[in-house]
Amino acid sequence: MPDWRNRCGFGAPLETNSHCQMACDTPSIFHFGTMPTLFRSLVLLATCLFPAAALAEEATASAADKINSALEPIANTALNIIFWGFEVTDGVTLPLVLVVLGGTAIFLTLYFKFINLRGFGIALRTVKGKYTDPNARGQITHFQALSAALSATVGLGNIGGVAVAVGVGGPGATFWMIVMGLCGMTTKFAECTLGVKYRRIAKDGTVKGGAMYYLRDGFKEIGMGPVGAVLAALFALFVIGGAFGAGNMFQSNQAFSQFSSTFLDADVAGSSSAKLTFGIVLAVVVGLVIIGGIVRIAQVTAFLVPFMCGVYVLTALIIILTNLGEVLPACGTIISSAFSNEAVTGGLIGVLIQGIRRAAFSNEAGLGSAPIAHSAVKTDKPASEGFVALLEPFVDTVVVCTMTALVIVITGVWQVSAEVNPGGAQLVAAPGSSEVVQELEQGQFVHTRLSKDDHLEVIGLVSSEDRSVEKIEGWIAADTVTDRKGVPMTSLAFGSVISWFPALLTIAVVLFAFSTMISWSYYGEQGIMYLFSFLGDERTKIPVLVYKVVFCLLVVVGSSASLTNVLNLSDAMIFAMVIPNLIGLYFLLPVIKKETASYLEHVKSVDGES
């Protein structure tokens, strides 16, 4: 998420923690800060709009399909490398990276003796500033850092990510998301402690931090400098890829998906021109902030994002409270499905995999992005921010994601995998078969499971009125239905109870996507600056500008590609960050343990005085 350390959060003042402000203050070969706003805008429009417009001009009716086709082999290759694993049951592969990520979270929780639970009270008191000198070095307070991070993480991961997990893995994926959220609290604690420990504070007070620095400097301290340098460079590369994938293309893809389903006719929404136009507009607005330095847009968004987060959480709570009688059955469905071999995709292992993947995508514990966000905090005790950071996965995954999942399960929408397109579709006995099981009309909701030879296996027909399911077996051509997993599923769930909410959710999704893009553009920029630091501050501005232009152009690509390919590429890039980051955590465990003991002694002394 963001220059989350300077990202506007719940109740945090704009002038002190606007993530967009930090993004605008980063170096550029153009001195935008001294240029008139109009001129800056024109430069940015020339940079971002002209290439995108050229793409649109050359585009045919199948432009979006061409982009999707071009992206598919890249996404599949990246996915196969990062998610390499071993087959545990028929058709289900357990990715090694998920074993390492989940295993590390559990190991750290045990190693630090459940500090995620026993340190909860200390974390809350630290957020209030009880144990920290207000004049300590840094840029923002603990509360501002937590607020910034929450306003970033409570976004599309909660709205779309949960729906993807439930839609692909069944309701049981929610249970494993919660488990991973609880254990991920310790992972976040460890990496953010290191982030503050090895941060770099410039003479002007600005802070640089993140996994790149504790991998490089931490390994140098233990006599493994060359290894640390390689790991740091790899992480910098991966964080750039994560910025392009999860922080950019996935965001624009989900934003267009929700926008089109709410405000556009089906024919218009499916056209390549609509996708390209939406992408170009969004790319220009993003570019106005990260290249053009138009701070006003950033400030307005910084105010609206936490407001939308609050509205979303409040609405989910209202739906849950008004359906209290359905909460216990929904919880029962979630728990039983978590251990059932009849899960939607892959049985028990399949639902476990989806839970871990979506939890990591939502709260980012173990990815190494959080230390970039937390390094600017005002503190002389690195572990203090580690305690604050452990609250993020709890709020983001354990609380908000669970609320979203409950709404989806209570309303019965979790079984809506896809919707039949205009013109209807045929349910056939097998892929390529001419034996028609049933004719399906436009708008029919279907519950799907497996995919094979451009067909989807249908296991149920879902009523659009009461979400009751008629069990049926057959296959349907993939191009005759529209995927409803992700944000559309969440929108359908909320809209079935509050009719006007999809429109509000659409605005929230676009704002979440925009603010996350700004934030992740900063993450990727830090990776670029680290890799090209040998050029010196002035010459580094050139690759930074090139990165920003490419970032804006990829917004257009993301809005045009299919959710499947964007999601696969996003997963691959963001999980690649796990490898060097977790290696660093294991080797630097003694440092984390020492800093934790030091801070706990400090806490004990302060509590003793009071």
Q: Which residue has the tokens 């992005």?
A: 369
- pLDDT tops 60 at residue 1: no
Could you tell me if 536 and 580 lie in one domain? Answer: yes
Asked which of 483, 507, 530 is the last residue of a domain, the reply is 483
One domain, residues 156 and 197: yes
Q: Whole-model pTM?
A: 0.78
pLDDT digits (tens, 9 = 90+) for 282-314: 999 898 888 876 556 556 656 766 777 788 888
Return the pLDDT at 383. Answer: 94
- Give residue 252's pLDDT: 87
Task: Kindly give the interhelix angle for 537-560 and 272-290, rounded to the nearest 10 degrees.
Answer: 160
Average pLDDT over residues 388-406: 88
Task: Report the alpha-carbon distance of residue 20 to residue 4 in Å, rounded.
Answer: 9
CATH number of residue 440's parent domain: 2.30.30
Instruction: Tell me what percent of the residues of the chain surpass a pLDDT of 90.
Output: 23
Query: pLDDT at position 65, please?
Result: 60
Enumerate the β-bridge partners of residue 426: 439
pLDDT confidence bin for 348, thresholds 50/70/90: low
Indicate whether 452 and 505 sit together in one domain: no
Q: Give me the half-sphere count of Cα atoms (radius 13 Å) on the Cβ side of residue 21.
A: 17
Claim to verify: residue 97 and residue 23 sit in the same structural domain: yes
Paired residues of 605 in beta bridges: none
Looking at residue 10, its pLDDT comes to: 29
Highest mean pLDDT among 87-96, 335-344, 407-416, 592-601: 592-601
**Final residue in a domain of this structure, among 466, 483, 500:** 483
Cα 506 from chain centroid (whole Å): 17
User: 463 and 344 in one domain?
Assistant: no
Its domain, for residue 437, covers 419-483
- Overall number of domains in the chain: 2
3-state per-residue secondary structure call for 66-86:
HHHHHHHHHHHHHHHHHCCEE
Are 285 and 324 members of one domain? yes
Please provide the average confidence, as pLDDT, over all residues in the chain.
Answer: 79
> Are 390 and 181 spatial neighbours (Cβ–Cβ below 8 Å)?
no
Instruction: Summarize pLDDT for 175-218 with one digit per residue, the tens.
Output: 888 888 899 999 999 999 999 999 988 777 777 888 999 999 99
For residues 334 and 430, state if they share a domain.
no
Residue ending a domain, among 483, 506, 530, is 483
CATH number of the structural domain spanning residue 292: 1.20.1740
**Do residues 373 and 427 both lie within one domain?**
no
> Between the ranges 35-39, 138-142, 315-319, 341-345, where is the mean pLDDT highest?
315-319
- Residues making up the chain, counted from first to last: 610
d(CA 34, CA 47): 19
Going by pLDDT thresholds of 50, 70 and 90, the confidence category of residue 82 is confident
Lowest mean pLDDT across 187-196, 484-493, 576-585: 484-493
Whether 486 shows a pLDDT value over 50: the answer reads yes
Q: Report the interhelical angle of 487-495 vs 402-410 (nearest 10°).
A: 60
Per-residue pLDDT, 22: 41
Residues 478 and 551 in one domain: no
Q: Locate tokens 């002035």: which residue?
A: 538
Q: What is the pLDDT of residue 50?
A: 47
Q: Do residues 455 and 559 both lie within one domain?
A: no
Same domain for 426 and 382, yes or no, is no
Q: Are residues 321 and 261 in the same domain?
A: yes
How confident is the model at residue 354, as a pLDDT? 76
Cα 35 to Cα 607: distance, rounded to the nearest angstrom: 52
Question: Cα separations (Å) of 530 from 207, 232, 344, 485, 535?
Answer: 13, 9, 43, 37, 10
Question: What is d(CA 293, CA 41) in angstroms, rounded to the nearest whole number?
Answer: 9
The string over 108-137, giving b where at least 16 C-beta atoms fall within 10 Å of a residue's C-beta and e elsewhere, is bbeebeebbeebeebbebbbeeebbeeeee
